[in-house]
Amino acid sequence: MSIRARIRDGDAEAFEVLFDELARTVYGHAFRLTGDWSAAEDVMSLTFLEAWRLRHRIDAEGGSLRPWVLGIATNVARNLRRAARRYDEALARMPRGGPIADFADEIAARMDAADRLAAVQEAYGSLRRSEREVFALCVWSGLDHAEAAEALGVAVGTVRSRLSRARKRLEKLVERPQQPSRTRQVNGDRDPAVRSVREQNR
């Protein structure tokens, strides 16, 4: 019996195999979508809880479950962003308290990996949500167009057009002169994600 069929039938050991295989992939995808280590952990946990809940929807026949799981992760990240936005809006309406110490410099010194990604996300964040999701799946998570279409529940042509728009927007931002800031600026020669955009547009 295939792992798909076993998971669909509620085989916990088969699902554990799936978790071991895809947990790091889901975590990386979640971090690229959220830009936050803690949020990525939440997305990963909720993704596999949701995958187990929806296991009856798995077809017994087929290839890797990676596109299906990453599609769930994308939806979970989307829902968490909405919830966080509502929470921030609620906080903004509350009376403000006294001043709070700024530990930004200390924290930034401990988060070099997040700082590097933040530079990319400065450009990445300018994309539409649908373009960010396709870019994360195809460029960072390595899905092909058909797998990304399966993950997002859209047509392959839609994936191609969104990815093309994302690459063009990012290419323009890479070519634009950068202003100095506290964080690293996007640089096509330094960051592999941006460099991949350059190379694929040549």
What is the structure's pLDDT at 85?
60
What is the structure's pLDDT at 70?
95
3.10.350.10, 1.20.970.10, 1.10.1740.10, 3.40.228.10: which CATH number matches 1-98?
Answer: 1.10.1740.10
Residues of the chain with CATH 1.10.10.10: 105-202
What are the pLDDT digits (tens) for 6-61? Answer: 999 999 999 999 999 999 999 999 998 888 888 899 999 999 999 999 999 998 78
Residues of the chain with CATH 1.10.1740.10: 1-98
* Helix-, strand-, coil-residue percentages of the chain, each rounded to 5: 70, 0, 30
What are the pLDDT digits (tens) for 99-115? Answer: 444 445 544 444 455 55
What are the pLDDT digits (tens) for 65-81? Answer: 999 999 999 999 988 87
Average pLDDT over residues 148-174: 87
Q: Per the structure block, which two tokens stand in for 37?
A: 């280590």
What is the structure's pLDDT at 101?
47
Instruction: Quote the mean pLDDT of the chain.
Output: 76
What are the pLDDT digits (tens) for 116-137? Answer: 555 556 667 778 888 888 988 8
Q: What percent of the chain has pLDDT over 90?
A: 38
CATH entry 1.50.10.10 includes domain 105-202: no
- What is the spatial distance between Cα 192 and Cα 31, in angstroms, rounded to a whole number? 16
Task: Find the Cα–Cα–Cα–Cα dihedral 39, 45, 49, 51, rounded to 10°.
Answer: 80
